Amino acid sequence: MNVDQLKKYREEAYNHLTLELLPFWESRCVDKENGGYITHFDNNGNDSGEDEKSLIAQTRTVFTFSSAHRAGYGQGRYAAIAKHGVDFLISKMWDTENGGFYWLMDRKGNIKIDEKIVYGLSFAIYSLSEYTLATGDPIGLEYAEKTFELLQVYGADTYYGGYFEMFTRNWELKGEGSAGGDRKTLDAHMHLMEAFTTLYEASGKQVHRRKLNEIIQLLINKIMHPVYGTGIPQFWADWTVAPQIKFDIIWGWDRFSEDGSKSSAEDNTSYGHNVEFAWLLMHALDICGISYDDYNSQLLQSFDHAIDHGIDWEFGGVYVEGSHAGAVYDREKEFWQQAEVLIGMLDAYRIYGDVKYLKAYDSTHRFVFDKMIHHKVGEWLPLLTRQGEPIWKHMSHSWKVNYHSVRSMVQSIIRLDKLLSNA
């Protein structure tokens, strides 16, 4: 282990986080007039004007400032910014009649889409639990638990396991096909694992631990490929593999054809999701006090598939996706995959000690800091070519906000500090 190199990684990450990334958001996102956060910024960091406040962007920004405060940044300012977002979530986005958070509001807090989408509700649980852990304010945990309980009543599939994901305002399951009522996804269930981990950490309640363990087993035994240990994106209700389609409300619309289908729809996996799943699983096991021993096979498959097929050893960074067996389909570089691989490869190196993981971290770190970060403005570019030329140039919109970039830096610094302390 090269201690000087680890110190250099940490210095770059710390300087970016404290001098660029967090100041970018602190100086721009608080909507003092209407409450909540402004989350749409162009390449120069200017408000791009979209009249929307999404559940995803609002909750993720609550998480960002809560977690930054919890990690010791901001001298109390970030706790106040987090509370500002929590107040908007509860006063404007919570459905007082049916329970749950609406999917989309306009900037003033009027409802634009009133549906209950489990992907978004998972981030409500995650961010509100983190807010209580960070600040001690019980209101976050109160609404996190309310959301969790609604999922158990309306969302849980008590026959096949897991959760249905797309509901109307009054919790009626939506229809088939692009409405999403007949599908289950890796994405939502992985984020529910993340959410239940933080909920259990905040509450200490046995029911939250039990549901967390249930979803861990489901992810490993149903959602991960039985041979390769890689994540399968979409399923029918009975957990048979479904062709990946575009939902009416979903991330990734740009990756689909006009008719909503996708090439290699039944054989694709995301390198970023696989590594993110692995480090989130390790964190869940840590919170539950469970040894990694029984999970090492899955963890190593998740990490090593990305090492073997997803890392671009020529130009740096990690590709978007490929087949379970290894063929790369999409060699572009998207922001969030890079962010999750940074955390995951540090965890893999810290636990398993194989230098290949540190090399993968180095490849991704250099690509991010040399190509993806718009240092003059402070945030990350969303999508680059394989070689690192910008394809999309905005700094933020509802799906590309601060959660991946800030969390990546906060968590990378924590892991680098652990490595340095043991050097």
The structural domains of the chain, with segments of one domain joined by +, span 3-422
| 390/231 Cα distance (integer angstroms) | 28
Task: Count other Cβ atoms within 10 Å, centred on residue 258.
Answer: 6
Cβ atoms within 10 Å of 176's Cβ, excluding its own: 10
The domain at 3-422 falls in which architecture? Alpha/alpha barrel (1.50)
357: left (phi over 0), alpha (psi -120 to 50) or beta: alpha
Using the 8-state DSSP alphabet, how is residue 307 labeled? Answer: I
Q: What angle do CA 145, 149, 152 make, to 5 degrees?
A: 140
List alpha helices for 95-232, DSSP H: 118-135, 138-150, 186-203, 206-218
Which pLDDT belongs to residue 250? 66
Backbone angles phi and psi of 220, in degrees to 5: -70, -40
pLDDT score, position 262: 57
Phi-psi map region of 60: left, alpha, beta (phi>0 left; psi -120 to 50 alpha): alpha
How far, in whole angstroms, is CA 375 from its chain's centroid?
Answer: 23
Per-residue model confidence as pLDDT tens for the chain (423 residues): 699 999 999 999 999 999 999 999 999 999 999 999 999 999 999 999 999 999 999 999 999 999 999 999 999 999 999 999 999 999 999 999 999 999 999 999 999 999 999 999 999 999 999 999 999 999 999 999 999 999 999 999 999 999 999 999 999 999 999 999 999 999 999 999 999 999 999 999 999 999 999 999 999 999 999 999 999 999 999 999 999 888 988 655 455 455 555 566 679 999 999 999 999 999 999 999 999 999 999 999 999 999 999 999 999 999 999 999 999 999 999 999 999 999 999 999 999 999 999 999 999 999 999 999 999 999 999 999 999 999 999 999 999 999 999 999 999 999 999 999 998
**In which element (H, E) is residue 346 found?**
helix 335-352
Question: pLDDT tens, 349-384?
Answer: 999 999 999 999 999 999 999 999 999 999 999 999
Q: Please give the structure tokens belonging to residue 334.
A: 């998207």
Centre a 10 Å sphere on the Cβ of residue 421 and count the other Cβ atoms it contains. Answer: 7
Tell me, what DSSP letter sits at residue 49?
A: -
Q: Which two tokens stand for residue 307?
A: 């090492």
pLDDT number for residue 255: 53
What letter represents residue 292's amino acid?
Y
d(CA 213, CA 190): 12
Q: Do residues 310 and 302 touch, judged by C-beta distance below 8 A? A: no
Rounded to whole angstroms, the Cα distance separating 345 from 45 reads 30
* Cα–Cα distance, 391 to 53 (Å, whole number): 25
Instruction: Give the CA distances from residue 166 to residues 117, 159, 171, 218, in Å, rounded to whole numbers and listed in that order.
Output: 5, 17, 9, 19
Alpha helices in 228-331 (DSSP H): 271-288, 296-305
pLDDT computed for residue 423 by the predictor? 84
pLDDT score, position 265: 67
Quick one: pLDDT at residue 266? 78
Structure-token pair, residue 197: 């981990």
**How many CB atoms are closer than 10 A to CB 136?**
10
Token couple for 362:
């180095």
Query: Is the Cβ–Cβ distance between 196 and 125 less than 8 Å?
Result: yes
C-beta of residue 85 within 8 angstroms of C-beta of residue 128: no
* Contact yes or no for 9/350 (Cβ under 8 A): no
